[in-house]
Amino acid sequence: MKKITGEPPVLLRMSIDLLIRNVSIVTIDVVSTGDIAIDGGKIVGIGNVTETPARQTIDGGGLHAFPGAVDAHVHFNDPGRADWEGAPT
């Protein structure tokens, strides 16, 4: 795991809906530990988010986040099949 160090804090001048702290953030080229700020269903800050008021805070320690990833792999059930293939995302 590669950790980005020396990043300036992300300054948010508003309250947000959700703050995920201390989560492993996985991008295309690096995995780093940081925070993810979400407001109105959109990511508004990633990295070292400073103390920002949030309606809900989640400790992401031990968890991984894939911001911007889209799960486009779908198995459509054939007519008459009762079983479901897939995984919740």
pLDDT tens, position by position, 19-78: 999 999 998 888 999 999 999 998 888 888 877 789 999 999 999 999 888 777 666 666
Please give the Cα distance from 12 to 28 (Å, whole number).
Answer: 25
- pLDDT of residue 1 exceeding 80, the answer is no
The whole-number pLDDT of residue 20 equals 95
Instruction: Kindly report the number of other CB atoms within 10 A of residue 66's CB atom.
Output: 13
- pLDDT of residue 3 exceeding 60, the answer is no
- The pairs formed by 64-70 with CB atoms below 8 angstroms and a separation of 24 or more are 64/23, 64/24, 64/25, 64/26, 64/31, 65/20, 65/23, 65/24, 65/25, 65/26, 65/36, 66/26, 67/25, 67/27, 67/36, 67/43, 68/27, 68/43
Kindly report the CATH class assigned to 16-62.
Answer: mainly beta
Domain limits, the chain: 16-62
The whole-number pLDDT of residue 49 equals 82
